Each structure stands twice: as C-alpha cells, then as structure tokens.
Amino acid sequence: MDKSAKDPEKIRSMFSTIAPRYDLLNRVLSLGIDRQWRKFAVSQLPSGEKSLFLDVATGTCDVALEIIRQHSAETRVVGVDFSEGMLKRGREKVREAELEKRIEVRFADVTALPFDDNRFDAAIIAFGIRNVQDFKKGIMEMGRVVRSGGNVVILEFTSIQNPFFKVPYRFYLTKVLPFIGEFISGKKGAYKYLPSSMLEFPGPEEFKKEMEQTGLIHVLYHRLSLGIAAVHIGTVP
C-alpha cells in the first residue's frame, strides 16, 4: 500500500465522515461477529479490583463499554481517538449508558499519547493499529504508558492463511465490502481504503515479531473466525 494512503489527516477525515453509521457498518460487514471479537479481546485484559485501562482508537467506545461490562465496578477506562467525529459518537454512547464517571473520552494520537509512563494497568486497541502510519511507534507508546507486567492487547484483521478461504474472502473484501460500505454510509469511496489495509497488514506470526521488536515480551496470539482477525497480547517488561 502507498504509505500516503495512511496519511493521518486522510484517515482522520475518513473516520469522521463515516462515524454516524460506523456501528451499523461494523455489524453488517462482519455479519455481527465483530461483537464476539471485541468480547474475546477484552477478556485478555488483566482482572483487578480498581483497574485503569487505556482504550486506544476508541472510536464509538464499543471496547470501552465492553471493558466496563466485564470488569468490577471500580474499573475505569480512558478512551482516546484522533477523529473528532468518532469521539462525538463515542461520548454520546457513554452518556446514554450513564457511564461518564467510569469512562473518560478524550482526543489523542497513539503515536504521542499525553500520559505519564506506567499509568495504566493495560492498553487495548481494536481495529485501529493497521491505520497508523508508524504502527511500531504506536505500540511503543502503548507499552510506555502501561506499568511493568501489564498487557498490550491488539485486535486486528489479518491476512488469511487458509488457501480454501483465501479466494472467496479476497472477493468479499475487494468487491462486496466496498459496495455495501458505500451504500450504508452514503459516502462515495468511503470503504475503498479498507480492503487494501486489511490484505496488506502483516500475518499473525510476522506481527508477533513486530510487537517483540517494540520491546514487548511473551507475545502470543489467537486467530479468530478462520483467521479473519487475530488478538495479540504482549507483556510490558
């Protein structure tokens, strides 16, 4: 993929444009499976009575809300995103759930997080790291703000390894998905970027090595739904 396709301003603009129908698009395009993926990813976070978690690329706050569902009443979440359009919808959902005291939503870029070192018990990012131009820098920043022994959890689409599923999956991504995405969002070309960003993202084993190169240790991963997505978990040394 041309690196310019991941220009932060282009990505920011794209997500702000589709924000009002982002949740609906996720449900339709994934056939509803994205909810199960997020639940599994959140289940990989450490448990604790008064945990503080960072949800990067929080978007419409689906992951932040899932964290609250799975953890104790004392758990708090800081959700950050660099798309104001997505943040607006995320804040609305947090307000509707009456969780403003437990979920803080704020503007921030993963490559320059405005937090002190060792502040969080763990950090998570769902379907966002492949959109970061320098994703290693983003992972290093997540590791920086997580305490020693805490986790960095990354849920992301991945390249299909199964040869029988590879061809129909590619057809869906390149032909069907952009058409449905444009129809539902009402924005011409809104989902043309997505297929290439998914198909060109490193496979699970390669991405595991990329995470290790950022300084994380004990990195492991779980393939989900025939390898469509994967959850990687790394530990901060």
What is the per-residue pLDDT for 232?
Answer: 98
Instruction: List, in sequence order, every beta strand (DSSP E) within 38-75.
Output: 52-56
What is the per-residue pLDDT for 2?
Answer: 45
Confidence of residue 1 (pLDDT cuts 50, 70, 90): very low
What is the per-residue pLDDT for 64?
Answer: 98
DSSP 109-165: BTTB--S-TT-EEEEEEES-GGG-TTHHHHHHHHHHHEEEEEEEEEEEE-----HHH
Q: When comparing pLDDT for 206 and 8, which is higher?
A: 206
Where is average pLDDT lowest: 80-84, 148-152, 193-197, 198-202?
193-197
Which is it for the CA torsion 213, 216, 219, 224, positive or negative?
A: negative
Task: Give φ, ψ of 49 to 5 degrees.
Answer: -70, -40
Rounded to the nearest integer, the mean pLDDT of the chain is 89
At 215 the three-state DSSP class reads coil
Query: In the predicted model, is pLDDT for residue 155 greater than 90?
Result: yes
Mean pLDDT of 144-167: 88
What is the per-residue pLDDT for 14?
Answer: 73
Confidence of residue 30 (pLDDT cuts 50, 70, 90): confident
What is the per-residue pLDDT for 161?
Answer: 67
Measured distance CA(101)–CA(138) in Å, rounded? 27
Task: Give φ, ψ of 209 to 5 degrees.
Answer: -65, -40
Total count of residues recorded for the chain: 237
Distance of CA 183 to the CA centre of its chain: 24
What is the per-residue pLDDT for 196?
Answer: 75
Measured distance CA(57)–CA(140) in Å, rounded? 15
Q: When comparing pLDDT for 32 and 135, which is higher?
A: 135
Confidence of residue 189 (pLDDT cuts 50, 70, 90): low
Confidence of residue 183 (pLDDT cuts 50, 70, 90): confident
Give the tens place of pLDDT for each residue, 71-115.
999 999 999 999 999 999 999 999 999 999 999 999 999 999 999
| Domains along the sequence of the chain with CATH | 3-235 (3.40.50.150)
Q: When comparing pLDDT for 9 and 88, which is higher?
A: 88
Cβ-based neighbour number of residue 206 at 10 Å: 11
What is the per-residue pLDDT for 5?
Answer: 54
Confidence of residue 209 (pLDDT cuts 50, 70, 90): very high
Give this prediction's pTM.
Answer: 0.90
What is the per-residue pLDDT for 154?
Answer: 98
**DSSP code, position 15:** H
